Amino acid sequence: MFSKLLASVLAVAATVSAEGAPGYGGFRTVWAETFDGAAGSTVNGNNWNIITGLKVNNEWQDYTTSTQNLQLSGGATVQIVPRKDGSGKWTSARIESKYKFTPPAGTQTMAEARLRFGDNNPANKQGIWPAFWLLGDSIHNGVAWPTCGELDIMETVNGQLTGHGTVHCDVYPGGVCNESNGIGGTIGIPDQGWHNWRIVWDRRANSWTGETITWFMDGRQFHQVSGSRINNQKVWNSLANSPLFFILNVAVGGDWPGPPNGATQDGYGSMMEVAYVAHYIAN
């Protein structure tokens, strides 16, 4: 299964324009956000909800709509910038796509973003927690986390050059996905510069148990889960056969990274910058 997936997804030439999401042979672009707009302006409100008033995981930041925390660069990117004021209060930003999609049966679906991190020294990023992920839209209809399903395409904490891809599902605590840990894989990140992060749903198998979700950084696989590993069709459907939406955020503090410390720096050097987010389906 993996060899077929690798051949069909990665052995195709990507055509990248000066701006925008790349095209991939054998796939069509269904939706893409390329963050075009004037420097210092905010994201397209037709495409994104800017989240405020949400604080989970014992995080420290307040999410705001301020362009100090969330702004277009003017160069077809968006910058999510954590900031600390004179009183020690942290602010940052979280955006959630209004666009939703369900990976269809019988084909492959890709979700991808290109992003980089600010160039502060990792030693000055304690508590900084950037993420690119997907959440099941059923959470908007009364289904609790993690039953709604969550696919973390990329997370990293504390400036560590380690990317984490994780599945959260079923019930908390415990359950199929061993919550609150989830089912995860990791990969070393070469540097804080631009890299592509992708997951691929392969729903071409004759049975849901043979379907897979696979994680890649710059075309290198680093994690995979299958229907047979989840071994519960209802739970699998929450991950592979239900509407999902994109999330981009930079949290500060929380149960996983721990709190920021006296060496933690804010500003552009601790930001996450994103060039595009895109959804593809195989032709």
Higher pLDDT, 172 or 12: 172
pTM of structure:
0.93
Return d(Cα 246, Cα 175) in angstroms, integer. 24
21 contacts 30 by C-beta, under 8 angstroms: no
pLDDT for the residue 55: 85
**Cα–Cα distance for residue pair 91/50, rounded to 1 Å:** 13
pLDDT of residue 19: 55
The pLDDT-based confidence of 18 (bands split at 50, 70, 90) is very low
Q: What is the pLDDT of residues 251-265, one digit of tens each?
A: 999 999 999 999 999
pLDDT for 1 equals 40
Report whether pLDDT(49) > 50: yes
**pLDDT tens digit string along 104-142?**
999 999 999 999 999 999 999 999 999 999 999 999 999
pLDDT of residue 20: 80
Is residue 196 a contact partner of residue 218, using CB atoms and an 8 Å limit?
yes
How far, in Å, CA of 222 to CA of 46, rounded? 33
Which domains occur in the chain, in start order? Answer: 2-282 (2.60.120.200)
Taking residues 216-231, what's their average pLDDT?
Answer: 98
Whether residue 200 has pLDDT greater than 70: yes
Nearest Cα neighbor of 275 from 19, 90, 14 is 19
pLDDT, tens digit (0-9, with 9 covering 90-100), for 146-169: 999 999 999 999 999 999 999 999
How many whole angstroms separate alpha carbon 24 and alpha carbon 13? Answer: 6
Q: 282: Cβ–Cβ under 8 A, 6 or more apart, which residues?
A: 8, 26, 27, 107, 108, 109
User: How far apart, in whole angstroms, are the C-alpha atoms of residue 52 and residue 252?
Assistant: 14
Check whether 13 has a pLDDT greater than 80.
no
pLDDT for the residue 54: 87
